Structure 1
Amino acid sequence: MKNLKLASKENKARTVVNVSGVEIGGGFTVMAGPCSVESEAQVIETARAVKAAGADMLRGGAFKPRTSPYAFQGLGLNGLKILEKARQETGLPVVTEVLDPRDVSWVAEFADVLQIGTRNMQNFSLLREVGRAGRPVLLKRGMFSTLEEWLNCAEYILSEGNPDVILCERGIRTFESYTRNTLDLSAVPAIHELTHLPIIIDPTHSTGRISLIGPMSLASVAAGADGLLIEVHCRPQEALCDADQALTPAMFADIMGRIRPLKAFMDQLPEQDNFLPQG
């Protein structure tokens, strides 16, 4: 991928994105929280629960891009204020999605990390704007996008002077209908071969099934991912968005109890650049 002037692994040592002391790419980072901000009580309760279970960051959507214009679209500014309060109470840095280039500057006043969702991966005006915002950016892979297209979108952000880009694999659309999307775990070692940027996995949107989130989280650790982005809701049955795929705090705590030991075990294994025969 010769057109990658800034994202290429050849141009820089591995990037570690520091978000208020949390290092993405320097260990294993777990971002957890509700799909959407629904109320102050809901977010605060969930934030406390995910922190107690070992999460490093809080995720939550104040703006929600929905397939239907009649579905819940998020609380907007009020949602951002709720996330800010949750950060103050728990100390967890906040990652939230921004949809419109016109909103970037003021959303950045509340968010520690600006998320670009799959539908906006190739919104080049938005990419340039977050590149100038002075905040780390979490860039989700487009649902129909190749790795090259994804990395070129990261290049847009990097070219505006923002070195802090976190890639997020969230599944791609295939003919398979059992899962919401198809999780491309091969993207993890491939991305590490191609770029210095860190990559995390979203096992929630990629599978859309609670029963698969745990196994895919463990598989992400084994594949070498730099972290996870997981949906957790204090009462999933009441969720206004993605209720069928949100973990309860107890489920999340169980997964966290498996993730950390596996990561510690993987870190003890000898490093190997690739699995090709030597000699």
Structure 2
Amino acid sequence: MILILKSGATDDQIDHVIERVEALGLQAHLSRGTFRTILGIIGDESKIDAEAIRAIPGVASVVPVLPPYKLASREAHPDFSIVDVGGVKIGGGNLAMIAGPCSVEEEDRMYRIAEQVSAAGANIFRGGAFKPRTSPYAFQGLGEEGLKRLRDAGHAHGMPVVTEVTDPRLVEVVCKYADMLQIGARNMQNFALLNEVGACNHPVLLKRGMSATVNDLLMCAEYILSQGNANVVLCERGIKGFDTATRNLFDVSAVPLVHQLSHLPIIVDPSHATGKPELIPACAMAGIAAGADGVHIEVHDCPEVAKSDGPQALLPEQYAEVASQMKALAELLGKTISPTPEKTA
């Protein structure tokens, strides 16, 4: 940690800062420049309350050398993590192919879509049973009945399932049916929910908030990791921009940046990032080329009757085409699309 002192800091103020630092069992190295005086702090930074130090007269700013997300950082875990979701591996060169409708719908439709995306190469089936919607009058999901339909359809075709959990009180029931818990963009900073999923052993898919920085995303992952759950996968799903031509701004640079800063896997969601089916294939390929550990795509066999987000869903035949392209690109980059346990057998 580095303390930058004010240009007019007196010797007494500097000595007081040094005394406070040394009282914590740390070492302070003083460096006087032409315009600035700085103190380099050596030792366990966790002992320092940055806000308390910043309040000492003479201190201009406190600059941490190590990132605040200790457990999510590459410093804490130099090797890339691999997260196992019902036998499907994500990270470390293993790609997740997540596909399915936005919302869980009729039972026969769920089985039909699961069969189609599985045949195309998907290895994780997705669908929302609890839907946080902008309007209170919009379809909110089928609840526990939706969880049953999702699980049965996915498992019938050899795929583990991922679904969103929206409330700490729902974690236990969602864990009964899902192989992976999704924290949606609106709940990225729902800290009570993050702590609750951190206390369980289920893998977690943490989506980046619509106005969140990469640092914000990693700090939220830290909440989950700090509770003992190391099975966290991040998701870049677009952030709010000024251009209304697409639903969100697809920040593909977040993928290599996260890999530079963290050991956690990160996937991309071009469906929510663009909101336009015609843009999904190119953005999916861009995500893989940038180093993404998987791609999350919404698929529906009749988007016009979809309960939610129908306009951004691919048809099964469109998904099959882009899945084939993603397989070819993955092979070119030396990556593997992780097979489901059933397909491995």
CA distance in 2, matches of 1:80, 1:245: 22
CA distance in 2, matches of 1:156, 1:43: 33
Superposition pairs of residues 57-206 of structure 1, within 5 angstroms: 57-206=124-273
Higher mean C-alpha displacement, 182-191 vs 37-46: 37-46
Superposition pairs of residues 214-225 of structure 1, within 5 angstroms: 214-225=281-292
For the pair shown, the structure with the greater C-alpha radius of gyration is 2
Q: Which has the higher contact order (CA 8 A, sep 6+)?
A: 1
Match among 268, 279, 304 for residue 237 of structure 1 = 304
Q: Deviations over 1:50-93 (max 9, x none)?
A: 00000010010001110000000000011001012113311100
Q: Percent identity?
A: 55
Q: Deviations over 1:187-240 (max 9, x none)?
A: 000000000000000000000001100000111111010000100012112101
CA distance in 2, matches of 1:29, 1:163: 18
1:54 aligns with 2:121: yes
Which residue matches 2:326? Answer: 259
CA distance in 1, matches of 2:72, 2:155: 34
Q: CA deviation at 1:29?
A: 1.1
- Provide the secondary structure at the position in 2 that maps to 1:144: coil
Which 5+ residue runs of structure 1 have no aligned equivalent?
A: 269-279
CA distance in 1, matches of 2:67, 2:108: 49
Q: CA deviation at 1:5?
A: 1.3
Q: CA deviation at 1:2?
A: 2.1
Match among 88, 91, 100 for residue 22 of structure 1 = 88
Aligned residues: 268
Letter in 2 for 1:3: P
CA distance in 2, matches of 1:84, 1:145: 31
Off by >4 Å, runs of 4+ in structure 1? none
Match among 64, 70, 73 for residue 8 of structure 1 = 73
Q: CA deviation at 1:39?
A: 1.1
- Provide the secondary structure at the position in 1 that maps to 2:238: coil
Which 5+ residue runs of structure 2 have no aligned equivalent?
A: 1-65, 336-345
- Provide the secondary structure at the position in 1 that maps to 2:333: helix
Letter in 1 for 2:260: E
Which residue matches 2:31? Answer: none
CA distance in 1, matches of 2:122, 2:155: 15
Letter in 1 for 2:156: E
- Provide the secondary structure at the position in 2 that maps to 1:115: strand
- Provide the secondary structure at the position in 2 that maps to 1:168: strand
The RMSD of aligned alpha carbons is: 0.9
CA distance in 1, matches of 2:191, 2:69: 16
Superposition pairs of residues 25-44 of structure 1, within 5 angstroms: 25-26=91-92, 27-44=94-111
CA distance in 1, matches of 2:69, 2:288: 27
Which residue matches 1:246? Answer: 313
Report if aligned partners of 2:144, 2:173 keep a CA contact under 8 Å in 1: no
Letter in 2 for 1:83: L
- Provide the secondary structure at the position in 2 that maps to 1:9: coil
Letter in 1 for 2:72: A
TM-score, normalised via structure 1 length: 0.94
Letter in 1 for 2:86: S
